[in-house]
Amino acid sequence: MSAAVPRTAQETVAEYLRSEILAGRLAAGSRLQQSEIAQRLGVSITPVREAFRDLVMEGLVDFDRFRGAVVHVPSIAELDEIFMIRQRLIPLSCELGVSRITPEELDECESLMRQIEAADAVTWSILNRQFHRILDHAAGNGRLTEILWRLADVATLYIHLTLEDNTHRRDDAEREHRELLDAYRNGDAAVATRVQLEHFEGTTRAAREKLMEKAASTGG
């Protein structure tokens, strides 16, 4: 087994910020101060600035004209765009993945699924991301996987919204995880596709409702 390639300072900063954002510890709209992050991680300003650029490309960070780098703020328009693209790509991913997924990947998904069902809201989102990344990777198509992973990273921001005070959506999502994994185990691409689309549609619907509530409460 080859040794792991050491991370650059830029990669370390990007992974730290990515984890903080996806875990919800850096809230949407939060200002990201280069000097503070550099000091916290013991690096210079340069890798922090470069990490910001990486996260902008991933859709997790925006550059505000007046405030500088800020955590990306979700919107209904973006949510609908993400779902539309996923809706087109998921059938292909499932068709490829159910025939190529390995027993080891299935077992890893099973373990993650159990952890998800026992997790708090923050950990739930992180583990949920890992669960779906395994299924996306099983398709064996690097370009397709890269697109789905980038969409999923941005979508995680919306998943946080659905978990704030919606235990029913969490219960539904966990049931859908079980059905999805069963479909992959059985090599049933049609069922896997149907469950995946229902899964993402449920999350999209719940997130849209939450965004509308927030907009109404702030007069936006």
Q: Domains, the chain, ranges and CATH?
A: 9-71 (1.10.10.10), 76-218 (1.20.120.530)
CA–CA dist 34, 44 (Å, integer): 9
Quote the crossing angle between the two packed helices 45-58 and 34-41, to the nearest 10°.
110
For the stretch 69-107, pLDDT in tens is: 999 998 999 999 999 999 999 999 999 999 999 999 999
Task: Give per-residue pLDDT as tens, 174-215.
Answer: 999 999 999 999 999 999 999 999 999 999 999 999 899 888
Bridge partners, 62 (sequence order): 70
Question: Distance between CA 163 and CA 50 in Å, rounded?
Answer: 32
- Report d(CA 23, CA 125) in Å as an integer: 7
* pLDDT for position 168: 84
| Residue-level pLDDT at 23 | 75
The 10s digit of each residue's pLDDT in 5-32 is: 457 999 999 989 988 887 778 988 999 9
